[in-house]
Each structure stands twice: as C-alpha cells, then as structure tokens.
Amino acid sequence: MTEFTTRPEILGTFGVVTSTHWIASAVGMAILEKGGNAFDAAVATGFVLQIVEPHLCGPGGDMPAVFYSKKTDKVEVICAQGPAPAGATIEHYTSEGLKLIPGDGLLSTVIPGAFDGWMLMLRDYGTMTVREVLEPAIYYAEHGHPVLPRVSNTIKGLAEFFRKEWPTSYETWLPGGVAPEALSNFRNPVLAETYKRIISESEAKSGREEQVQAARDAFYRGFVAEAIDTYLKTAEVMDASGSKHKGVLTADDMANWSATIEAPQTLDYQDWTIAKTPAWGQGPVLLQSLALLKGFNLEAMDPAGPDFVHTVVEAMKLAFADREVYYGDPEFSQIPTEYLLSEGYNSERRKLIGSTASMELRPGTVPGYERQVDATMAMLAEMSGTGTVYEPTMSHLTEKRGDTVHIDVIDRWGNMVSTTPSGGWLQSSPIVPGLGFALNSRAQMFWLKEGLPTSLAPGKRPRTTLTPSLALHQGKPSMVFGTPGGDQQDQWQLPFFLRYAHHGKNLQASIDMPLFHTSHFPGSFYPRTSSPGEIMVESNIGEAALEDLRRRGHKVTVADPWTVGRLTAARRDADGLLRAAATPRLMQAYAIGR
C-alpha cells in the first residue's frame, strides 16, 4: 500500500513548478505552457511572489539562485545579493550610537539586488521578453490578489507604527486608513505603474537582450535609482534601535553594481553531489553538516526517531558554530571552505558528537585562523543578549511568520532552477515614494566590530541565510529544493534531503515528516540572540521521542503539528520523469506539473 501523504507527489514529463504561494506556482506553470523555459518561469514566479507575499520578499530585496542550464551543461549560481553602500562604514554606524545594526529602517539597507538578478537570469538563460515575465505581477498589483491572513495581521500590528513613523508605508498598506482584511482583494497600483514604466523604457530598444539591459538600466541607472536617491537624501525614520536614522545608499552605489554568475560550492555525499552558494550565504553549512554525518549509519535510524533528530541536531550545531567564525564575503576575506569540508577536519569534529546535547558553541580551529576564532568568540560573548528577541518581521510589534519565499522549477528540456528571493519586506523599511516598494534590511547581518569576515565594510556582501539547493545524482543534475526560514533554512533542508536519500521516501513524504531545528547558535537577525541547547520539534514526532530527547539534555520546545518549515522540491529522474512537491504547512505552497 502506498504511504499516505498530505498531497500527491506531482508527476509528469512536460514541466513542474513549485513555490511558496499557489498563485505564483500557477503563473510559473503558465509561462511553461506558453513555451517559456525554467528560467522564464522562475523570473515570472519571483515577481509575482513580491506581490502576493509582500511580507516575505519585494523588489528592493535580494535573490540567490543555484541552477542548471541544459545549453551550457553547467551548474552555476546567480549572486543577486547587493553589497553595503559606500557610506556604510563601521565608523559612521557607531557614531550614530549603535552597537548592532537595526533590523529595520534605512541604515540597514544595502544595494537592492533582486531585480538585477532576475534580469540577468532572463537575459542569459531565458527566452522571453521583459513584458512577458512582468505582466503577471503587474496584473496582480493592478487587479488585486487575496491578502494572506499573515499579511493582514502583520499590517494591522504595524498600523499605528506606520501611521506615526512611516507615513509612506501607511499610505500603501492601509489605503484610506484601513488595513486589508484577510483574503480581501488588495492592490498596489503604484508598483504596477513602476513595472509598466520599466517595460516601456525597455521596449524603446530593439532586440530581446537589449530590452532586458534597458530594464536593468531603468532600475539601477534610471528613474528607480533616482527616486530612491531623492528619498534617502532627506528621509530620517524610526528603526528598531529606538532612534531615527538616515540611510547611506545613493544612486551612485546602485549605478556601479550588477549581479554576478559564480561557481557553486559542492560536496559529494554517497551517490549525490550537493551544490550550494559560496560562503557569502550560509549554504556551505548544509555541506558541512553532511560531511560530519558521513560517519553515522543514518539508514539504520528511524527517520522520525530521537537518534536521528539528536545526531542531525548535534552535527548542525558544529557546522553553524563554524559559520559564525569563518563565513563571509570571499572577496574580502580568505574563507577556508575546502578545509571546513575536508574529511580530515570532519573526522576530528565528528568525535564531538556524543550521546547528550551540547550546551556550548564549539567552532573548530583551522590552522592560521586561531586569532579569528578568539576574536569572534570574544565578540559573541560581549554581544549576547543585547536587546529583546527580534527578527526581520518585527515581532516586537506584530506576529512573525517566516522571512522569505522559495521557487523550484524544472522544464521539459532539463533546465532546473532553485531560488530563494527575500528582503524588501513591507515591515523592513518605508515605502519609497512613487515606486510602491520598500528597501531591504540585509545590513543587519554585519557586525560593527573590525577584523571579522562579517564586519561591515563598503562593497562587502552580508553573509545571508538565503540558501537554495541543487543536487546531482550520479553526476547528473537531478533535484532542486529549498525553503524560507532564516537560520532554519538549511536546518529544514537537511532532514528533508537525508530522509529522501536514505529512507526511500518520495518528495512529498519526505517533506511531510515531522521537522525540527535548533536555536543553539547566534541568530543572523537583530539582535543576534541564541538559546543554547534549545530545539524546536513538531509534536507529531510523538511523546516518546520528545521525552527521549529531553533525557539527552535537549531543551525541547514543542511546536504544533504542521507548523515548522516551508519546504518545496522538484526532481528529474534519469528517464526524464519529473516530480514535484510542496509543504502543506501554512496552507500556501503549491506544486504544479504535468
């Protein structure tokens, strides 16, 4: 008898699209139906997610993608993570009386990267025009879309703050002074006009690639950059620090930056090869966790049992401790990623995984990096507990639910895309007048201490949590997967992948299984708090397993069933059969295919 799953694993041969919102997935599938490829579909899906999940991503945010192009026969990464502006110096921020960069407002803004990343993907790998990929987003911005209950609650929770402190956001999100009710029809006509003008400027050029370049110019060197520059010259707004601050981003910063294509970071695990972003994202932490887990017989463990949860959590604690010390923009620091992934290093680290839960943050020591380890640990000790718990969705004022979106697409030719767009949340920054969107708050991931890979510096990329995944099976690109969730992204992807690789469960069954994560290490978001030894586990793992984990010393927080994680995944089998799945949690994500 086939194992029951909350939804069918979608099967087909033509194409599959899965994302964190059903409308966005339907748009991506429509693009495939019109003859577009996986890249065209991902771009259109991404722009629609900005409209229907505005509390989780926006045009002013960022976008990493890991993808396989049949044409180039290569797995590559798009880095659309904007760096810190020229004026973003530690001296300036500390002179403003800050010890940490706030999680919202204008000082926390880096160069918006998402738009350029999408256009780079469209130009170099897609087949469609700017108009074709933007029109679905314009439709929903202009004609409306059903407001998610979480969006409604977020806006209601921020209504008074917006009215008093961020009037441009009040005007956009509370039209007529009223917050939208859950599932009511909501429009953002100003953003629709922004995208229409970008199309108009692109179509002043002839030739598809020239039109895409004109759209990039309109955003980064044209009217969009000018509107941002004009606003930031005078705007001074309240942020999480409790004071008003001005931003430092300028039109010059935007004009001189563009998204890049890079090689992925990879690790071989059994007959799989996992491809992730380099260490400017947290992607290698999943690879490090797998390198540690190579020494355990996971196949013999119950994939929903306490041995499995304990072993995976303890491996993740070690990998995330290394993330704190070593990860950062490789263009500014020597990141010893190959050493961190080596068998010699991990065979020693593996010995630290014992039968009880560790309460310590235990980074490894890479030769030559001793001073960096000491400096990081000293700073973390000094910074621990500076402020109340606060995450990107302003939980001091409103409910917090996730912080980004995810898309996986595979087309009939075998192109595949995994991308995790984020930033530019409606609650991260005020709406820029005349544009209909907010800037990002990604600079909060920098430290205001000199000499670390994640120290704030002009031109440096923040070490983000955005971490899409692509897996090759027996050397052939096979699976794309990912999830929103900040520091939890790789923590939810890891058990999903292990259950799929070791336990013979299909994509949907692997997603449906009880999830867990730890908050043992410092969070990436302001104010960077940690909870040593704490794990959150969905209750449907069973009381016996929860009690066993407590006996091992874990501080267990029990989550309601179906409340942890937002995973999606798609796969192409060796014979060309396509598969896709999406989590039932939050009742939003959807997989479509035929």
- Mean pLDDT calculated for residue range 440-462: 95
Place of tokens 């929770």: 157
Whether residues 172 and 290 share a domain: the answer is: no
Query: Of 159, 182, 205, which residue is a domain's last?
Result: 182
| pLDDT of residue 268 exceeding 80 | yes
- For 198-220, the pLDDT digits (tens) are 999 999 999 999 999 999 999 99
- For 398-438, the pLDDT digits (tens) are 343 347 999 999 999 999 999 999 999 999 999 999 999 99
- Which pLDDT score is estimated for 385? 52
**C-alpha closest to that of 571 among 3, 18, 182, 2:** 18
- Mean pLDDT calculated for residue range 59-72: 98
Between helices 208-220 and 189-202, what is the axis angle to 10°? 130
Whether residues 302 and 167 share a domain: the answer is: no
Whether residues 174 and 286 share a domain: the answer is: no
339 in any annotated domain: yes
- Mean pLDDT calculated for residue range 529-550: 95
Whether residues 158 and 287 share a domain: the answer is: no
Is residue 227 a contact partner of residue 59, using CB atoms and an 8 Å limit?
no
319 in any annotated domain: yes
Q: Round to whole Å and give the CA distance between 516 and 510.
A: 13
287 in any annotated domain: yes
The full DSSP string for 261-329 is EEPPEEEEETTEEEEE--TTBSTHHHHHHHHHHTTS-GGGS-TTSHHHHHHHHHHHHHHHHHHHHH-S-
318 in any annotated domain: yes
Whether residues 165 and 304 share a domain: the answer is: no
Is residue 362 a contact partner of residue 317, using CB atoms and an 8 Å limit?
yes
Q: Round to whole Å and give the CA distance between 374 and 501.
A: 37
Q: Which domain holds residue 517?
A: 278-384+463-591
- Which pLDDT score is estimated for 259? 98
CA 21 to the chain's CA centroid: 15
- Which pLDDT score is estimated for 1? 63
Burial string for 56-81 (b: 16+ CB within 10 Å, else e) reads: bbbbbbbbbbbbbbeeeeebbbbbbb
Which residue type occupies 580? A
265 in any annotated domain: no
Query: Of 137, 163, 182, which residue is a domain's last?
Result: 182
285 in any annotated domain: yes
| pLDDT of residue 528 exceeding 80 | no
- Mean pLDDT calculated for residue range 11-39: 98
| pLDDT of residue 61 exceeding 60 | yes
Whether residues 368 and 487 share a domain: the answer is: yes
Whether residues 365 and 502 share a domain: the answer is: yes
Q: Tokens in use for 490?
A: 């790789």
Angle of CA points 185, 391, 402, to nearest 5°: 45
- For 269-327, the pLDDT digits (tens) are 999 999 999 999 999 999 999 999 999 999 999 999 999 999 999 999 999 999 999 99
pLDDT class for 529, splitting at 50, 70, 90?
confident
| pLDDT of residue 439 exceeding 80 | yes
- For 459-512, the pLDDT digits (tens) are 999 999 999 999 999 999 999 999 998 899 999 999 999 999 999 999 999 999
- Which pLDDT score is estimated for 380? 87
Whether residues 178 and 293 share a domain: the answer is: no
Strands (E), 81-156: 145-146
Q: Round to whole Å and give the CA distance between 566 and 401.
A: 11
- Which pLDDT score is estimated for 551? 98
* Total-model pTM: 0.96
Among residues of the chain, what percentage have pLDDT more than 90? 92
Query: Of 182, 207, 230, which residue is a domain's last?
Result: 182
CATH code for position 555: 3.60.20.40
- Which pLDDT score is estimated for 207? 97
Whether residues 168 and 282 share a domain: the answer is: no
- Mean pLDDT calculated for residue range 23-33: 98
- Mean pLDDT calculated for residue range 111-134: 98
Averaged pLDDT of the chain = 94
As for how many domains the chain has, the answer is 2
Whether residues 173 and 293 share a domain: the answer is: no
Whether residues 379 and 483 share a domain: the answer is: yes
352 in any annotated domain: yes
315 in any annotated domain: yes
pLDDT class for 16, splitting at 50, 70, 90?
very high
- For 233-245, the pLDDT digits (tens) are 999 999 999 999 9
Is residue 65 a contact partner of residue 468, using CB atoms and an 8 Å limit?
yes
Between helices 370-383 and 306-326, what is the axis angle to 10°? 100
